[in-house]
Amino acid sequence: MTDHPLSASSPADPLHTVEALSAYLDGELDADAHQRVEHWLETDPQARLELRRLQQAWDLLERLPAVEVGPSFTHSTVAMIAVQSAAEMQPESRFMGGRWLRGALFILMWLAMAGVGFALVRLTVSDTSASLVADLPVLEHLEAYRQTPDLEFLRKLDAPGLFHAEESRHAP
């Protein structure tokens, strides 16, 4: 694994690689670090590729037109900083009021989401419950139905008059 160009023993990771190459391109390195980066670039093709990418990105940034800002930009920026600083300097009671309001809004939003969730579950469960109630007679005897080899046999058992002699015994 390639060593970091700025320290003789640490392994290179992408963050430090970009930092080292950026400092190299900016001319921010001392002579010793500059020499290590150059040696690293000579021996590591991946580092050369990354240096080329950084250089291309900087070249593209240099091609962008410079934007001229007028005095109103400076004035509005300073005004925004002053407003922000004044807001931060307000007493704690005002901050606590805003905090209480955010907390109340959070609780109301949570309750609304819980209500919507409850309604959706209730609608889903009510449809399921209605079908379960309609199928209750079948569900009560489900094990017996599973033991029956044929559905036609069950239909014949349900036919009127199958047990005619038994029905006449039970008649008053």
pLDDT tens-digit profile of 65-90?
877 777 787 788 888 888 888 777 76
Domain membership of residue 79 (yes or no) is no
What residue type is assigned to position 64 of the chain?
L
Number of domains in the chain: 2
Say yes or no: 48 and 112 in one domain. no
Asked, for residue 92, whether it belongs to a domain, the answer is no
Q: Provide the residue range defining the domain that includes 135.
A: 99-172
Q: Span 116-125, mean pLDDT?
A: 81
**Residue 39 domain flag:** yes
Same domain? 119 vs 166: yes
* Under 8 Å between Cβ of 37 and 6: yes
How far, in Å, CA of 120 to CA of 115, rounded? 9
Identify the three-state secondary structure at position 11. strand
For residue 3, being part of any structural domain is answered with no
Quick: pLDDT tens for 92-106: 555 556 778 888 898
Beta bridge partners of 3: 11
SS (H, E, C) 152-169: HHHHHHHCCCCCHHHHHH
pLDDT for the residue numbered 43? 92
**Residue 12 contacts residue 1 (beta carbons within 8 Å):** yes
Confidence class for position 42, pLDDT limits 50, 70, 90: very high
Task: Identify whether 88 is part of a domain.
Answer: no
Residue 109 belongs to a domain: yes
In a domain, 77, yes or no: no
106 and 166 share one domain: yes
The distance from CA 69 to its chain's CA centroid, rounded to whole angstroms, is 39
Please tell me the distance from the alpha carbon of residue 1 to that of residue 11, in angstroms, as a whole number.
7
For the cut 90, the answer to whether the pLDDT of residue 52 exceeds it is yes
Whether residue 103 sits in one domain with residue 51 = no
pLDDT at res. 72: 80
The span from the CA of 147 to the CA of 136, in Å, is 18
Question: Structure tokens of 105?
Answer: 């809004």
Query: What is the rounded end-to-end Cα distance, in angstroms, of the chain?
Result: 100
Alpha-carbon distance 126 to 118, whole Å?
A: 12
The answer as to whether 8 is a domain residue is: no
Indicate the SS3 state at residue 47: helix
Q: Give the DSSP H or E segment for 62.
A: helix 45-63
Do residues 109 and 162 share a domain?
yes
Is the same domain home to 125 and 59? no
